Structure 1
């Protein structure tokens, strides 16, 4: 019997979990992501930008829903631009789109189980993983309720549960806090911090304060290009008293967008 070295049993690591160079992605005929360079590692990354900035198109490309029109994109060290078989990469992804489909008569448990099956999870692991995901989003009391009976906030939490059921290495959440009340948003921030310990989490949102409270890294895009990437403190430092916003983070956000649009440097 051959002895197995520690290097052989160690988990695979990658310099960057998400690595994009000159990424270009179309939304219909429109080039929504245009020459984007991006590096994301383990942690919670907040994706900010005004309406039409290309956030959703970028998320769909990272989820392998949209194929890049140009540039290079790699997830977990594997190139996905032009790759024929994306199943190995998709097994390691979790994705919550802005609007997700579901069968109304499914219970919450059946819905999350169905998504686990689509992700090709091992059958013996599914029941425990489903229960854990439902509990993590605070829906244990509604596990056997039909999806059609849930409120908007509960539906959003069910969507988060299906996204995390496979313990993804890359988790993509597009506007996950829509419909959540303030208390649920606080719980969600705590969940994000927990998930970001071992995974690369990218959260697209318009709520700058959620990003500052829960994220280790901030990514700001506009017109499909990268405007800024840094820590929440770096974002805050970009703003001043004369910039628009009700908080230091919002003033930093508006200052960066203003300078990008006018071509002005700090």
Structure 2
């Protein structure tokens, strides 16, 4: 039986770094998908970019404490992820939306988000209000009592975001959160990200450079499991020129960063 968690245990605590990795290596099966990563993140919205196979999802799973590090050091919210007792306390303050998340089709949106709040050991008295607030924030108020199996793909994605933010996480990890969202919903989501990043560390993995430029304070580019570039969206936009692939300055900057990294690696 799960014990009740006190308000003191779930109170917001500030840390020098929400994420601090040194020489981090993480395997996806037998493949070393994250290879010697040094990364430090604090409050704000951080965009994670990289081509397919760059290690983005593996990194997100490691930060969500789903995959253990194979080597190196990883500290989340001031706590090492080495010990089981530390993992439990870290997970109470995490929010995580996987690229492909599981759900019970017969649950309503409210039941699903409430169940995830229970798994995160939220204080029972706070759950109902927290569930309603998270559903409202993702624009699913009218569908709160609809069964998940009746929702569209975009609505399901928003339900996934709702469960990720129900506990007001200090570290929020969103893997491809805008898949299935229409243009208007993506604009609303960007506004939500900016709001969440005021007090929390938010890491968003995506292929959509436009979302990163519009909503993020910081950009991280991975390739083959290694940090290729980190800086502001404006800095990324300044990396490219007209000869680089892309329909916008940011896309051309992203292409240029990868092009230069690959050229250096080939030497």
Shorter chain as denominator, the TM-score bin is over 0.9
The aligned counterpart of 1:3 is none
Distance 2:12 2:91 in 1: 18
* RMSD, matched Cα: 1.0
Q: Which residue of 2 aligns with 1:34?
A: 35
TM-score by length of 2: 0.94
User: Structure 1: how far apart are the matches of 2:14 and 2:191?
Assistant: 25
3-state SS of the aligned residue for 1:47? strand
After superposition, the C-alpha distances for 1:168-188 in whole angstroms (9 at most, x for unaligned) are: 000000000000000000000
The alpha carbon displacement at 1:241 in A equals 1.1
Which whole-Å CA distance do the structure 2 matches of 1:104 and 1:57 have between them? 26
- 1:102 maps to which residue? 103
Structure 1 unaligned blocks of 5 or more: 1-9
Aligned to 2:171: 170
Residue 55 of structure 1 corresponds to which residue in structure 2?
56
| Alpha-carbon distance, 1:198 to partner | 0.5
Secondary structure of 1:263 counterpart: helix
Contact kept? 2:12, 2:170, Cα under 8 Å? no
- Equivalent residue number for residue 83 of structure 2: 83
Q: Which residue of 1 aligns with 2:237?
A: 236
Other-structure match for 2:114 = 113
Instruction: Supply the distance in 1 between the matched residues of 2:44 and 2:62 (Cα, whole angstroms).
Output: 20
Residue 230 of structure 2 aligns to a residue in which SS?
Answer: strand
Number of equivalenced pairs: 254
Which structure 2 residues correspond to residues 1-266 of structure 1 after superposition, within 5 A? Answer: 12-80=13-81, 82-85=82-85, 86-263=87-264
User: Which structure 1 residue ranges, 4+ long, deviate > 2 Å from structure 2?
Assistant: 10-13
* 1:25–1:212 CA distance, 2 compared to 1 (3 A): same
